[in-house]
Amino acid sequence: MSEPGKAPKRNIPQPSLEEAALRLAAIVESSDDAIVSKDLSGTITSWNAAAERLFGYKPEEIIGRSVLTIIPPELHVQEPEILRKLAAGERIEHFETERIRKNGERIWVSLTISPIKDAGGRVIGASKIARDISERRQIQEVLIQSEKLAATGRMAAAIAHEINNPLEAVTNLAYLLSIDTTLSPTARGYAQMMLEEVARASEITRQTLAFYRESGRPSAFDVRELLDDILTLNRPHLDRRGIRITRRFRDTPLVFGYASEVRQVFANLLLNAADAVSEAGAICVRTGSDCGGPGSSRRVRITIADNGTGIPNEHRKHLFTPFFTTKGHRGNGLGLWVSKGIVEKHGGKIHVRSSICKGRSGTVFAVILPVEGVGFARRSVA
C-alpha cells in the first residue's frame, strides 16, 4: 500500500546493456552533427549519416581508411598532435579547421574530439563531432572585409586631406614651368605633362582610392593615347631595369567613360608587370577590337603581357580580393581590386591567365571595354 497523498512507486525496468547500446547508436545515427570515431592510429571506425551528408562518403567507402582522407594535405601535421593529446586522455573542444569533402570542396568545421576508453580506463580511440561552420566563417569574412574597407576609407580620406595642399603648390610650379619662355619647347612639353599628372594625382586623392564617387562627366577617349602617355611617363623606370616594351596598337574605336580612372587601371597593370619580370625582361602592350561573339556589341581589348615568373594557381583566385598581395611591405593589396571595380563600372571585364612553367612562364591581363555609345554610356544617361 502506498502512503496517502503520495503517488505509488513504479518499478521502471532498467534497459539491458544491449538495449542501451542500441539506443545510443540510434541517437548517434540521427544526430544533425557528423559523429566519427577512429582508433589511435587514425583509422576511421564509425561514420554516422550526418558525416555522410557533410563529407560525401558512404560508410562503406570511408570506414577502415585513414582520417587523413578528409584532411587537407597541408594540415596533416595537425593529426599526430591531436592523437598525442587523445592518448594522454585530453579532450579537444571547438577546434576550428578545414576539411575536404569527397568532391574536393573545402569546408570549415568546428571539431570536438573526446578520447574513448575501454573498461579498464585505457584510451583506445577517439570520438569526433564535426559541425559545418562554413556559412558562419563566410559571414565573419564579410564583416572583417567591411571593417577593413571602412578603415581604408578613413585612412584614404585623411591622406587626401594632407596631400592636397602640397599638390596645389606643385601644380602651380608646374604651370609656371609650362609657360616659361626661357625653356625649350621640349622642356615646356615635359612640364605640361607633369602638370597633367599632378592633376591626375590630385583627382585620385579626392577619389580616396575609389571610395569617392566620380563627380565629373564621362567622355570619349582613345585608349592608345592613354597607353602611350603611361608608357612615356614610366619609360625612365623601365629603361633603368632594362625592360623591353613592345607596342602592338591596332586601330580601335573610342571608349566612353572616365579617362583618368581607366588610366589608373593601365598604370597599375603596367607597374605590376614590371615588378613581375626580371632585369632585361619584356612587356608587350596590345590593343585591338573584340567582337565578343555573335550578337555582342563591339568592344576594345587591351592586353598587357609579361614574361615574368607567373602567378601560382593558389594565388590567382585571390588576385582581385582587397588586401591580398604577394609583394610584402611593398604592396597594399588594393591595386587590382580597385582596377576591377573601375573596369566593371565602365561595363567591361578584366581577365588574367598565367603560367609558371619554366621556359614559358608569364602573365597576361586583358581588359575589355565597350566602345563609345554602348555599355557604360547607356547606363550613364539612364
Q: With cut-offs at 50, 70 and 90, classify the pLDDT of residue 145.
A: low
Structural domain contains residue 10: no
- Cell numbers linked to 200: 591626375
| Structural domain that includes position 63 | 19-132
On whether both 316 and 376 belong to a single domain, the answer is: yes
pLDDT band with cut points at 50, 70 and 90 for residue 380: very low
147/97 same-domain check:
no
Alpha-carbon distance values, 120 to 16, 116, 123 (Å): 21, 11, 9
Query: What is the spatial distance between Cα 265 and Cα 253, in angstroms, rounded to a whole number?
Result: 19
5 found inside a domain: no
Flag whether 374 is in a domain: yes
- C-alpha cell read off for 254: 573610342
> Which of residues 57 and 183 earns the better pLDDT score?
57
Higher pLDDT, 98 or 378: 98
Position 178 in a domain: yes
Do 31 and 176 have their domain in common? no
Average confidence (pLDDT) over 103-131 = 90
**Residue 353: per-residue pLDDT:** 93
> Would you give the DSSP letter of residue 371?
B
State whether residue 305 is helix, strand or coil.
strand
For residues 11 and 313, which has the higher predicted lDDT (pLDDT)?
313
Among residues 158, 181, 213, which one ends one of the domains? 213
Least confident among 191-200, 238-247, 265-274, 352-361:
191-200
Selection from 41, 128, 35 nearest residue 84 by Cα: 41
> Domain boundary at 213, 246, 274, which?
213
Give the range among 42-56, 259-273, 319-333 with minimum mean pLDDT. 319-333
Q: Is residue 189 part of a domain?
A: yes
DSSP 8-state assignment for residue 43: B
For 107: left if phi > 0, alpha if psi spans -120 to 50, otherwise beta; the answer is: beta
Q: Which band of pLDDT confidence, cut at 50, 70 and 90, is reported for residue 62?
A: very high
Instruction: Identify the CATH number of the domain in which residue 64 sits.
Output: 3.30.450.20
- Do 84 and 199 belong together in one domain? no
Q: What is the pLDDT of residues 203-260, one digit of tens each?
A: 766 655 444 445 567 889 999 999 998 888 788 788 888 899 999 999 888 998 888 8
Same domain, 369 and 309: yes
Q: Single out the residue in 108, 132, 156 at which a domain terminates.
A: 132
Is residue 316 over pLDDT 80?
yes
* Same domain for 202 and 308: no
Strand partners, 110: 96, 131
Provide the mean pLDDT of the chain.
81
Lowest pLDDT segment from 142-146, 199-203, 263-267, 310-314: 142-146
CATH of the domain at 138: 1.10.287.130
Q: What is the pLDDT of residue 225?
A: 92
Q: What is the pTM of this model?
A: 0.48
Q: For the chain, how many structural domains are there in total? A: 3
Is residue 321 located within the same domain as residue 369?
yes
Tell me the percentage of the chain whose pLDDT exceeds 90: 31
Choose from 78-82, 295-299, 321-325 the range with maximum mean pLDDT: 78-82
pLDDT score at 375: 53
- Least confident range from 66-75, 81-90, 322-331: namely 322-331
Query: Do 203 and 231 reside in the same domain of the chain?
Result: no
Domain check: are 100 and 40 in the same one?
yes
> What pLDDT is stored for residue 83 in this prediction?
86
> If DSSP states are collapsed to H, E and C, what string results for 132-168?
ECHHHHHHHHHHHHHHHHHHHHHHHHHHHHHHHHHHH
pLDDT at 346 over 80: yes
Shared domain check, 223 and 124: no
Rounded to a whole number of angstroms, the distance between the first and last alpha carbons of the chain is 90
Output phi, psi for 291, to 5 deg: -75, -30
170 lies in the same domain as 31: no
Residue 303 lies in a domain: yes
Q: Among 108-112, 194-198, 338-342, which range has the highest average pLDDT?
A: 108-112
Whether 1 maps to a domain, the answer reads: no
Interaxial angle between packed helices 259-276 and 223-240, expressed in degrees from 0 to 180 and rounded to the nearest 10: 30
Residue 13 lies in a domain: no
291 or 271: which leads in pLDDT:
271
Please tell me whether residues 60 and 153 are part of one structural domain.
no
